[in-house]
Amino acid sequence: MQLNRRLDTFELKLRQLASKFERQETEKMKLLKENAELKRELDRQRGVVSSLKERLERAISSDQKTETSEELTRVGENEVVATRAQIDACIVELDRCIEWLEKH
């Protein structure tokens, strides 16, 4: 009788462990997908930053001191700052995901 109870307890714990493993695998897949999405977004943001830098350099090198180029510079700098903040946030999130994946 004691042996059957121990076997039942062992079986229950094994099922719980298998269930926990499945949940963690699901979470891992979700995080991997999120990580890939964040990497794509980071690449896109880098492209935006690169494009803005090129526009800014062209505006500066053309020596046009018109209001249009000053406005472009101001808008470009604001977009660069905002994009850089988004990139930094993505990097922090990627680091968090990678750290979690390494632990599990």
Residue 25 falls within a domain, yes or no?
Answer: no
What predicted TM-score, i.e. pTM, was given to this entire model? 0.48
| Domain count along the chain | 1
Give the structural domain span for 92. Answer: 31-103
* Element spanning 12, H or E: helix 2-61
Residue 36 falls within a domain, yes or no?
Answer: yes
Q: What is the mean pLDDT of residues 33-52?
A: 90
Q: What is the mean pLDDT of residues 13-23?
A: 96
- The letter for the amino acid at 70 is E
Residue 83 falls within a domain, yes or no?
Answer: yes
| pLDDT at 30 > cutoff 90 | yes
Separation of alpha carbons 97 and 34, rounded Å: 9
Residue 2 falls within a domain, yes or no?
Answer: no
Residue 26 falls within a domain, yes or no?
Answer: no
